[in-house]
Amino acid sequence: MSTLDLPFMPPAPKVHARDLPMALLLWKVANSTISHFPDYAFDILYARRGMLGLEAILVNDPEGARHILVANVANYRRPHAVNRVARPLGGSGLFLAEGADWRRQRRLLAPTFTPGSINVLLPHFHAAGIHLIHAIEKSAQANLSKAFQDAALEAVLRALFSMPESGEREKLSGLTRAYVEGPGRPTLFDGFSKNENSFAFATVKRKRFQNAWFTAIDRIVAQRKVASANSDRRDFLDLLLSLKDAETGETLSDVEIRDQCATMFFAGSETTARLMFWSVYLLANDWEEQTRVRAELAAFSPERVNTLDDLQNWPHLRNVLLESMRLYPPIPHIIRDANGPDDICGEKIDKNTQVWVSPWVLHRHRKFWDRPTAFIPDRFAGKPAPWTQMPAYIPFGAGPRICIGLSFALAEAQIVLARLLSRQKIDLSDGRPVLPVGRVTTEPSYEPMFHLEAI
């Protein structure tokens, strides 16, 4: 086999020969949560390590992960570190809700993510794709990382609020971008916090952001509630305002509506922007795969997509997205603290043990994947829902808390990328490798310039 026949091997952080010394481990994790793993982590099912009084276990066994996330989910809680970062963004929305409150929210929100409800939002995704094309089409080079962030924000602001370009929209975009790139980044203070209010000096900027962020969304919701009915406007906020609990008849409170909008804003923009970036980065490095995607788009143009069913005409584009999420999972780790002792498929743990189920490791594990570090979209061929068909594939989580918006995210990414790839051939202008960095999401180490060639 010639080198031309070999799949693209995307760059990744160094895998270490052995466990790192504690000081170096802490430094690595503080800069990137995917940069510290030893080589053996990608071969074994369970790995334990103590760290400054904290007992932790890495679970690479899909059965063990299912035990934690499905079978015995009640025994596990999100650590304070996650809540400290996510609470300012989403309040007590679905992502952070627990117990009976989570079950009620999930039941109420389920109708807003049915295929019929998402079909209503597809015009907003098309508009975001057209917005992206107009932003880059006059240039031979583009920072597509930034362009995808803008497009994802465009899509979610339209889908959430039917919000046209305005000062208010720019304010929302600026707020979230500043948070993600600044105080929203996890720190060692978060890792060693005993509760959400520990090390209060380290959360001042987060609280300041939360006040401004929630005030802005409250204002949008209040304006919509007093506005006259508009039959032409169909968006996520309209769906939330019309929801009623089938068991009690109650509608969502203003605070609940705000928190769901805030949660959806981040989940529908930041993670989807990263998915689109990594997918295009992979295609820019694999001309054969890019050509295959473009052939699909030529056979069924983006303009013809009106429903989710129409997206089935692009199976290879979907496989590229699925493979991108395997290599660069939007959320690199699922971390839980044990409420009590447990037996995870024979591995006994004590109360307060921190459990890591890491898509970053699991998706590259040598026991479960052929050529795990290679870009091979065809591994997902014929698998319409691989997160249920492939136990070692968990880009959206697993169990009852699997991401409720996964169809939303995939539809948004497919339509925006289709608009781009049907109009432009894409190559990298900079030969330097782009490394993934684990923070809140899986970020690029820098934002490369892409060369564009109009078709």
- Out of 4-8, 155-159, 260-264, 372-376, give the one with best mean pLDDT: 372-376
> Of the candidates 319, 340, 328, which has an alpha carbon nearest to the alpha carbon of residue 417?
319
For residue 231, pLDDT over 70 is answered with: no
pLDDT at 444: 97
Confidence of residue 311 (pLDDT cuts 50, 70, 90): very high
Weakest-pLDDT range from 28-32, 275-279, 332-336: 28-32
Task: State the Cα–Cα distance between residues 6 and 411, nearest whole angstrom.
Answer: 30
- Tally of structural domains, the chain: 1
Structure token digits, residue 385:
């829902």
Beta strands in 113-257 (DSSP E): 141-142
In the prediction, which pLDDT does 232 show?
Answer: 58
Higher pLDDT, residue 114 or 267: 114
Other Cβ atoms closer than 10 A to 183: 19
For the domain that residue 181 is a member of, what is the CATH number? Answer: 1.10.630.10
Query: Cα dist. 133→72, 287, 313 in Å?
Result: 47, 21, 22
Residue 354, helix vs strand vs coil: strand
Cα separation, 418 vs 411, whole angstroms: 10
Question: Does the pLDDT of residue 278 top 90, yes or no?
Answer: yes
Give the pLDDT of residue 230: 54
pLDDT per residue over 85-100, tens digit each? 999 999 999 888 888 8
Q: What is the pTM of this model?
A: 0.93
Domain with 169, as residue range(s), is 3-454
Quick: pLDDT tens for 184-228: 888 889 988 989 999 999 999 999 999 999 999 998 888 887 774
Confidence of residue 238 (pLDDT cuts 50, 70, 90): confident
- Give yes or no for residue 301 having a pLDDT over 80: yes
pLDDT confidence of residue 166: 60
| Mean pLDDT calculated for residue range 404-424 | 96
